[in-house]
Amino acid sequence: MGRKALRTLVVSGAMVAGVGLVGVSAASALIPDSGYSSGHSGQTGTVNSADRSVFKSATVNGLRVRVGPGTGRPILGLIYEGQPVQVIKSARDRTGQKWDEVMLQTDSAGGLPGGYVGWVTEEYLY
What is the model's pLDDT at position 3? 53
Report how far residue 31's alpha carbon sits from residue 11's, in angstroms, rounded to the nearest whole number. Answer: 12
Q: What is the mean pLDDT of the chain?
A: 73
Tell me the percentage of the chain whose pLDDT exceeds 90.
56
Q: Answer yes or no: is 44 within a domain.
A: yes
Q: Answer yes or no: is 1 within a domain.
A: no
Q: Residue 111's domain is classified under what CATH number?
A: 2.30.30
Report how far residue 11's alpha carbon sits from residue 115's, in angstroms, rounded to the nearest whole number. Answer: 7
Q: Given a cut of 60, is residue 44 above it in pLDDT? A: no
Provide the whole-model pTM: 0.61
- Residues whose CB falls within 8 Å of the CB of residue 8, separated by 6 or more in sequence, listed in order: 113, 115
Q: Answer yes or no: is 115 within a domain.
A: yes
Query: pLDDT tens digits, residue range 49-68?
Result: 445 679 999 999 999 999 99
Q: Answer yes or no: is 13 within a domain.
A: no
Q: Answer yes or no: is 98 within a domain.
A: yes
- Residues whose CB falls within 8 Å of the CB of residue 110, separated by 6 or more in sequence, listed in order: 62, 65, 77, 78, 79, 80
Q: How many domains does the chain have?
A: 1
Domain range enclosing 61: 35-124
Q: Answer yes or no: is 28 within a domain.
A: no
